[in-house]
Amino acid sequence: MTTIEGLPGTVGRDLHPMQQAWLDRDVAQCGYCQPGQIMAAVALVGKVRREGRSITEADLDGIRNICRCGTYTRIREAITQGERHM
């Protein structure tokens, strides 16, 4: 099992591309939901890649992780950016 702490190790860098996208898009507010959001995003990219395609708006709509701070727009932008660099 990979945790948010181990995610950079999966790519051999200081930050995983999805984590870098989160920073670039300044996604987090309180931060409470963010590890789960990032892990869900990485899992989603892996799923669509196994299906031989890219993330769609419908895929983003299907993410069910709750963010009480309402950062959903930035989350979607970060996932799109992160996917491009994975």
* Binding positions for ligand FES, rule: CB under 6 A: 28-34, 67-69, 71
> C-beta of 81: minimal distance to ligand FES in Å?
18
Residue (24 or 49) nearer to ligand FES, CB: 24
Question: How many CB atoms are closer than 10 A to CB 20?
Answer: 17
Which of 21, 22, 30, 36 is CA-nearest to residue 66? 36
Residue whose CB is less far from ligand FES, 28 or 55: 28
When the beta carbons of 9 and 31 are compared against ligand FES, the nearer one is 31
